[in-house]
Structure 1
């Protein structure tokens, strides 16, 4: 197993506070992303979005469960995957950096590919498809809700 990491960057004209509102609230994700459904399996501290929250993303038989491990509004958010993808040790770290009146979204991730699965393939899927799509959708949703 090899450790893999990636960094996805998106820029938004929306304020970090507005981007944060959408990022932190898992139940908003189906409105601005391709995530079909989201709910809290357990609330965190501060409730409901904070540290210790377990977020359930998915519908039908396909779900991923993530636990919030860092919650520092409105700039820094991190979570770890508990289950749902064929990778181990996935952790994501999202930083919202003020740039003028807008925000630079830096979404970094690390994981270990499970034996029998191609690490480079999962890096591509996570970085280029899933996370890049989330970061770009988050940026656009925050912009449209501020105007």
Structure 2
């Protein structure tokens, strides 16, 4: 259920804090989303993300193509089934394109990623009931 909520991009604004719109920019091939580009408007920024791994139901990875001043970005979402639900581990690495801004971007992502994982968990719980 968690993975299904995660890849249902069009419905992100229903559960992802700060998001106003989201959708696929490119159509994904049947059965996979690898290589597809999604666009999300969150907190006033329009980000484009390319899907790197679409390994349902346990691993989803993407990179930010544009929208924030980073390079070498990669985020991995691992979903581990547990007896009482799922453990969501959402991690990212990147380099800042703006000198001295890396620390601020790191703090922003460090604060937002646990919130995104919590939002995802709540949305999956709602859909499951």
**TM-score, structure 1 normalization:** 0.80
Question: Paired residue for 1:77?
Answer: 60
Structure with the bigger RCO (C-alpha within 8 Å, sep 6+) is 1
What stretches of structure 2 of length at least 5 have no aligned partner? Answer: none
CA deviation after TM superposition for structure 1 residue 116, in Å: 2.4
Query: Are the counterparts in 1 of residues 48 and 65 from structure 2 also a CA contact under 8 Å?
Result: yes
Query: Are the counterparts in 1 of residues 39 and 47 from structure 2 also a CA contact under 8 Å?
Result: yes
- RMSD over equivalenced CA pairs, Å: 1.7
Choose from 120, 130, 138 the match for 2:103. Answer: 120
Alignment of 1:20-99 (within 5 A): 20-34=3-17, 35-46=19-30, 50-58=33-41, 62-99=45-82
Query: Are the counterparts in 2 of residues 33 and 137 from structure 1 also a CA contact under 8 Å?
Result: yes
Question: Paired residue for 1:136?
Answer: 118
CA deviation after TM superposition for structure 1 residue 79, in Å: 0.4
What stretches of structure 1 of length at least 5 have no aligned partner? Answer: 1-17
Supply the distance in 2 between the matched residues of 1:79 and 1:71 (Cα, whole angstroms). 9
Runs of 4+ in structure 1 over 3 Å off: none
Query: Are the counterparts in 2 of residues 43 and 52 from structure 1 also a CA contact under 8 Å?
Result: no
Q: Deviations over 1:39-92 (max 9, x none)?
A: 111022336x61011001017x73100000100111110001000001111110
SS at match of 1:42: coil
SS at match of 2:20: coil
